[in-house]
């Protein structure tokens, strides 16, 4: 027979010892799995909020005087008749929101009362955000409510509202 192999010529091969390579492969797989788990944990964390430093005439580094100057400007313009009562309340609310935006590093310029109630609070901003919410809540009736129906809207004047915003500036972060 050509090409036929006889059984007598075959000798059994010794058993292969695969223990060492298999243990090394298992260790490598476990190490890779641990590295992947660490990557998943680190990459799934929310990014840290980066506080951008605002620079300019109204940055916190210039102190509270710049904010009080803005508040005084609104009361002066109202007293001079340049703006009416509703415009003054609107301007004071904008100043309060601008101040809080700068203090927190988050844009609060368009936040409603509901937005302010739901705003994320950390220990450093909790009290200030509560003060902002109360200030805006106090400014809403004179700004939007019908004076003939709402007594609070009828009684509040621009000077009193300016005091509320000044109080917010002074008490923030204490």
The answer to whether position 46 is within a domain reads no
Supply the CATH number for residue 82's domain: 1.20.120
Residue with tokens 């990014």: 47
Please report the pLDDT score of residue 36 as a whole number.
93
Flag whether pLDDT at 165 surpasses 80.
yes
Q: Does the pLDDT of residue 80 top 70, yes or no?
A: yes
Judge whether 81 lies within some domain: yes
- Domain residues for the domain of 71 are 62-171
85 inside domain: yes
Give the model's pLDDT for residue 58. 44
- Is residue 39 situated within a structural domain? no
User: 155 lies in a domain?
Assistant: yes
Mean pLDDT of the chain: 75
Tally the domains of the chain: 1
Classify residue 91 by burial, with Cβ atoms within 10 Å: 0-12, 13-18, 19+.
Answer: buried
Q: Is residue 56 part of a domain?
A: no
Report pLDDT digits (tens) over 135-153.
877 776 544 444 444 445 4
d(CA 83, CA 162): 14
**Is 1 part of any domain?**
no
Q: pLDDT of 90-126, one tens digit each?
A: 888 888 888 888 887 878 777 776 777 777 766 666 7
DSSP string, 49-90: PPPPPP-STTSGGG-THHHHHHHHHHHHHHHTTSS-HHHHHH
The whole-number pLDDT of residue 163 equals 85
Residue 51 belongs to some domain of the structure: no
Mean pLDDT of 17-24: 88
- Mean pLDDT confidence for 52-68: 60
């Amino acid at each position: 027979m050509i090409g036929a192999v006889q059984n007598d010529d075959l000798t059994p091969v010794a058993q292969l010892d695969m223990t060492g390579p298999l243990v090394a492969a298992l260790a490598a797989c476990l190490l890779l799995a641990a590295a992947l788990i660490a990557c998943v944990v680190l990459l799934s964390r929310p990014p840290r909020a980066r506080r951008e430093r605002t620079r300019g005439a109204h940055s916190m580094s210039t102190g509270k005087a710049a904010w009080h100057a803005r508040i005084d400007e609104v009361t002066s313009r109202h007293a001079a008749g340049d703006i009416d009562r509703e415009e003054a309340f609107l301007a004071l609310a904008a100043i309060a929101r601008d101040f809080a935006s700068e203090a927190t590093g988050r844009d609060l310029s368009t936040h409603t009362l509901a937005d302010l109630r739901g705003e994320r609070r950390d220990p450093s901003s909790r009290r200030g955000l509560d003060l902002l919410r109360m200030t805006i809540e106090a400014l809403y009736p004179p700004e939007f409510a019908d004076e003939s129906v709402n007594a609070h809207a009828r009684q509040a004047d621009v000077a009193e509202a300016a005091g509320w915003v000044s109080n917010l500036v002074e008490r923030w972060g204490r």
